[in-house]
Structure 1
Amino acid sequence: MTISKAKLPDKSLLKIDEKSYDYIDSFQGNFIDKNGNIDITKIGKLFFSSGPKWIDNLFVLRNKLVRLLGLKTSGRITDRQKMLDNFKCEKGEQLGLFKVFDKTENEVILGEDDKHLNFRVSLLIDKQTENKTDKNLIISTTVKFNNWFGRLYFLPVRPFHKLIVPKILKGIINNIDDSKNK
């Protein structure tokens, strides 16, 4: 499976405000949806459960550090699986640090606004027109800095972000593939 760098898709809801972002990146990978049952809600749930354990550990460390600075954290997640089971990926819902800002048939926009920066994550299923079972999954991230502290905060985050997003994307696609083989 190949995960590659991509451009912010023209089909994405985030494209409208593209010029206002201070940072943008996108990564894409392909998957096959033979039964046509992989929808954006399933992708949204997989986003929260497909990363390697070291990513969870990084978020725990991040939350401990930024809490001291008065930034938003995901809070204590005592029963993550129960939260995931109840998560419908609907506009206005919150799971950890991520709020659902918008949702269409093929895209969900997650993110958060904080005093230092605002970020959005787009999970977009791009259906291939020539082959209805082949699909691209594109994860795009946008960041808008609200002040100098946002820029400073993002300096050490950026290299980790570029490692984390492709790993999560690969994990989502692996989980899709695993569920087809069961």
Structure 2
Amino acid sequence: MTEKPMTNQAPCFHSLAFREIPRPDYADVCLATLPNGAGTDPTEWAERLFSLESMPRWVAGAMGLRQALVPLIGIPRAPQDTFKVTDQSGEEALIFVRDKHLNFAAAVGVDPVSRLIRVTTAVELKGWRGRLYFGVVRPVHPIVVNSMLKKATRSKPSPT
């Protein structure tokens, strides 16, 4: 059976990440199971996942290395509040960063019925600096996010 190309159809996969970056140059989705007794507030989970204190040590170290190296290619260091929640709608909290080299959106969604947490990432690259920077980040991005999810869901849950 040959599939016909779909035209003029709305996307069936919805995420706040794709609201901000509807045609990403890169996108991924990482999933984890919520621990028993854990809360389901997506903003709390987003803040927990992206908190420097709760990141795996090697991820925090990589972030520090990033801060040291990016000025060498003309990218400014990220401010302290880079990973703050910028919006919440329904079961998702959004972290959206607009920069001169790329736009980054991470939507943290919590499904209380299936007890899953997901991080949907969308990236829009801008110019050679964005392509160079993300060329290094792309292969490790899912590993980083999965490590963050693993540590966050292993930690003591906060009831909601």
TM-score (norm 1): 0.69
RMSD: 2.5
Q: Secondary structure at the match of 1:100?
A: coil
Please list, as runs of the form range in 1=range in 2, the aligned pairs for 1:31-180 lying within 5 A after superposition: 31-32=34-35, 34=37, 37-47=39-49, 48=51, 49-75=53-79, 95=81, 97-128=82-113, 134-175=114-155, 178-179=156-157
> Which of 156-165 and 99-108 deviates more?
99-108
Q: Which residue of 2 aligns with 1:92?
A: none
Identity of paired residues, percent?
30
Runs of 5+ consecutive residues of structure 2 not aligned to the other structure = 1-11
Distance 1:98 1:18 in 2: 17
- C-alpha displacement of 1:113: 1.3
Q: 1:146 to 1:12 in 2, by over 3 A?
A: same
Question: Could you report, residue by residue, the CA deviation over 1:10-63 in whole angstroms, capped at 9, with x for unpaired residues?
Answer: 3422344665110000111112454x7431232022111432111111111100
Paired AA for residue 106 in structure 2: V
Q: Which has the higher strand share?
A: 1
Distance 1:19 1:106 in 2: 19
Distance 2:120 2:77 in 1: 21
Is the Cα contact below 8 Å between 1:72 and 1:114 reproduced in 2? no
| Structure 1 residue 29 corresponds to structure 2 residue 37 | no
- How many residue pairs get aligned? The number is 146
Distance 1:162 1:37 in 2: 24
Distance 2:78 2:22 in 1: 29
Distance 2:76 2:88 in 1: 23
Distance 1:15 1:141 in 2: 8
Paired AA for residue 40 in structure 2: I
- C-alpha displacement of 1:173: 1.2
